[in-house]
């Protein structure tokens, strides 16, 4: 009689919690020791479970993390550019209003003429910033690599699974994928 193999303690955790710890360990954000301590199990037990995770699932965790990091970085850069533009527009409008009011009241007043000169310098600086802002808005591109997209990796795995059932089509498909540099798998 063969003894029954019990499921691993980590495998019995709720999916969200199990995936959280697996992802954090694989990404190096927490140690197996810390995960074991949090989950009330030994670090060797955690290591056994992590080593049992299939490679495609590990790849999915890594791809999701890379994708999320790229999107987060792109969003931060876009927010900086947008914030920069709003401030520049606001500041430029303020300078133009001040210039208009000073021009109206500056006739013959030395102090006003000094203020006007300072505002003229400030206006030139803001115009240069506005020009830079316009150039940045035109050049803002976000590039994402499909090979790092978790959804694409999952789709690619489904396609390869289906093609395994049809060897003739698989060879042709893999050749086309190699030409596009999408996959580097033996035929």
CA–CA dist 106, 114 (Å, integer): 10
Can you give the pLDDT at residue 31?
Answer: 92
Distance CA 54, CA 16 (A): 17
Residue 6 has pLDDT above 70, yes or no: yes
Q: What pTM does this model have?
A: 0.44
Q: With contact defined as beta carbons under 8 Å apart, do 102 and 40 qualify?
A: no
pLDDT score for 89: 66
Mean pLDDT of 35-47: 90
The highest-confidence range among 37-46, 102-111, 122-131, by mean pLDDT, is: 37-46
Q: What pLDDT is stored for residue 179 in this prediction? A: 82
84 vs 103, higher pLDDT: 103
The Cα–Cα gap between 63 and 71 comes to 12
In the block, residue with structure tokens 């006007």: 116
pLDDT of residue 158: 86
pLDDT tens for 145-163 read 777 778 888 887 888 888 8
Nearest to 46 by CA among 56, 38, 35: 35
pLDDT for residue 34: 92
CA distance 142 to 39: 39
Q: Which residue has the higher pLDDT, 22 or 88?
A: 22
* pLDDT confidence of residue 187: 44
In this prediction, residue 88 has a pLDDT band, given cuts at 50, 70 and 90, of low
Which of 25-39, 72-86, 95-109 shows the highest mean pLDDT? 25-39
Q: Supply the pLDDT for residue 74.
A: 78
């Amino acid at each position: 009689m063969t003894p029954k193999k019990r499921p691993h303690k980590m495998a019995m955790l709720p999916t969200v919690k199990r995936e959280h710890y697996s992802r954090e360990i694989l990404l190096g954000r927490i140690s197996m020791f810390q995960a074991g301590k949090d989950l009330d199990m030994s670090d060797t037990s955690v290591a056994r479970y992590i080593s049992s995770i299939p490679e495609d699932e590990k790849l999915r965790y890594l791809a999701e993390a890379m994708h999320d990091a790229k999107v987060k970085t792109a969003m931060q850069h876009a927010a900086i550019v947008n914030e920069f533009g709003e401030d520049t527009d606001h500041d430029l409008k303020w300078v133009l209003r001040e210039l208009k009011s000073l021009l109206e009241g500056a006739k013959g007043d030395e102090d006003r003429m000094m203020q006007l000169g300072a505002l003229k310098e400030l206006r030139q600086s803001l115009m240069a910033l506005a020009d830079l802002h316009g150039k940045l808005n035109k050049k803002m591109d976000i590039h994402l690599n499909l090979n790092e997209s978790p959804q694409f990796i999952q789709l690619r795995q489904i396609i390869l699974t289906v093609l395994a059932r049809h060897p003739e089509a698989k060879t042709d498909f893999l050749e086309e994928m190699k030409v596009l540099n999408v996959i580097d798998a033996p035929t």
